[in-house]
Amino acid sequence: MADRKWSDLAPRLVSGIVMVLGGLALIWAGGHWFRIFIALACGGMVWELARMCAPLRRDVPLQMGGVAAGCLALALYLPGGFALPFLLAPSMVGLSLLPQRRALFLTFSAMILLAGYGMVGLRDGQGALWLGWLVAVVVVTDVAGYFAGRMIGGPKFWPRVSPKKTWSGTIAGWVVAGFVGLAFGLWMGEGVQLAGVSVALSMASQMGDIAESAAKRRVGVKDSSNLIPGHGGLMDRFDGMLGASLMLLLTGPWTGLFFIAG
């Protein structure tokens, strides 16, 4: 039983290290490299989403993935006012092409593109270190939740939707994210308030994870795809990042509600 509890650790660890190193390199590079990566990654997630919503239609997922990647790329290179329609266009196209589960596709596809747009906005507007902070919060939330949940156990968070998630892992994610925010806040001169923001982003990350689990449960699949060994698909790996990025987009420097100086 103990061996089975940790059976997915090795592939998760190897894939996680590769993704973290690759992600850090792209974040540091920024510019066209990061924008193209985000457009392709979001296109891949929309492809996975369309596959879950229309498993018998092989043509529609490919079409929707290409439309999403192209629209996000256009949005990233256009002024904001002209970019916004392109962020919602794939959702509207999906309503026409998908034979079923249109509401699910509309909601998640819009979330994916808006979150991707928000990540690029943070990188371009605030710099690599601030995006690194966001990634660090999401990663430590996931890692702390994984290890605390398996080592401490205890009551389940929402067993019907996500059987492996426990309250111990959930709270551990908040605590560790708070310490990460405190460290970044003191280092970058933003003060202790960044600890509270980091806890909120940790919660948003977990909400993104739970929302994706609920969507998979609804369509009857275990993973969004099998692209990443030990992690499933792109949505399985980046669901937390989507939730955190979307929250930061809605409450960040673009709206004037966040305290980081623009």
| C-alpha distances in Å from residue 48, one per residue of 70, 105, 201, 229 | 16, 10, 25, 15
Most confident stretch, 20-24, 237-241, 250-254? 237-241
Q: With bands split at pLDDT 50, 70 and 90, how would you rate the model's confidence at 231?
A: low
Query: Could you read off the pLDDT of 73-82 as tens digits, one per residue?
Result: 999 999 888 8
Contacts of 49 (CB under 8 A, 6+ apart): 64, 105, 108, 109, 112, 224, 235
Half-sphere exposure of 233 (CA within 13 A, CB side): 23
Query: Could you read off the pLDDT of 55-66 as tens digits, one per residue?
Result: 888 889 999 999
The H or E element that residue 47 is part of is helix 31-53
Most confident stretch, 4-18, 118-132, 211-225? 118-132
- CA–CA distance, 144 with 93 (Å, rounded to integer): 39
What angle (nearest 5°) sits at the alpha carbon of residue 215, between those of residues 214 and 221?
100
What angle (nearest 5°) sits at the alpha carbon of residue 142, between those of residues 138 and 145?
135
Domain positions in the chain are 7-251
Confirm if 184 and 190 have CB atoms less than 8 A apart: yes
What phi, psi does 164 have (nearest 5°)?
A: -90, -15
Confirm if 46 and 154 have CB atoms less than 8 A apart: no
Mean pLDDT of 121-127: 90
